[in-house]
Amino acid sequence: MRLYIGLVHFPVYNKNYQRIASAITTIDLHDIARLARTYAAKRFFVITPLDDQQRLAERIRSHWTNGYGARYNRHRKEAIELVEIVPSLEQAIDAIRAMEGEAPLVMATDASRQKHRAMSYERARCIIRSDRAVILIFGTAWGLDQSVMERADYVLDPVLGRTDYNHLSVRTAAAIILDRVAGR
């Protein structure tokens, strides 16, 4: 498995479907880094073009990997070490290409139905298991901008539970999706 995770803060939608850059949420970094460590992702890219947001993410990263946090909680250190902060999805892809010798497949997640493109979890699981490099990307705020969807090679089915309600947080949706596509 050569799985990478990306959390996209730009371009994403706000509540009114305008294209924005969202703010870093500390708890998303912690929760998704721990998921990355749990499901053996090779790296967790935090994607934001904003300087101050990159600095914030960097400060969180160094607190838990070199600072007091690293001594306080070594389990957290092991997870946060997977975090890499990059300004764009393209730069995450470049970083993966440099490590893997090939560009990764881009697999996007989306809470709304993209009728023509949606891919089942079973199929996603096969692709990830086939040992192709894959970056699984999650959108913050009201979801990934259409331009990111068009850049993606695949778009996963929305997460459904037992009802038609699909308004989960990105943290909990990422947990369910990772368990489905990368669990044992």
Q: How many CA atoms lie within 13 A of 19 on its CB side?
A: 6
Interface with a second copy, residue 2, by CB under 8 A: no
User: At its nearest, how many Å lie between a second copy and the CB of residue 173?
Assistant: 8
Interface with a second copy, residue 75, by CB under 8 A: yes
Interface with a second copy, residue 16, by CB under 8 A: no
Instruction: Give the other-Cβ count within 10 Å of 103's Cβ.
Output: 13
Round to whole Å and give the CA distance between 69 and 45. 20
Q: Applying CB under 8 A, which part among 92-100, 132-140, 149-157, 164-172 lies near a second copy?
A: 164-172
* Binder among 56, 60, 89, 182 for a second copy (CB under 8 A): 182
| Cα dihedral 114→118→44→13 (10° resolution) | 0
Of residues 98 and 184, the one with the C-beta less far from a second copy? 184
Interface with a second copy, residue 153, by CB under 8 A: no
Q: What is the CA radius of gyration of the chain?
A: 16
Interface with a second copy, residue 1, by CB under 8 A: yes
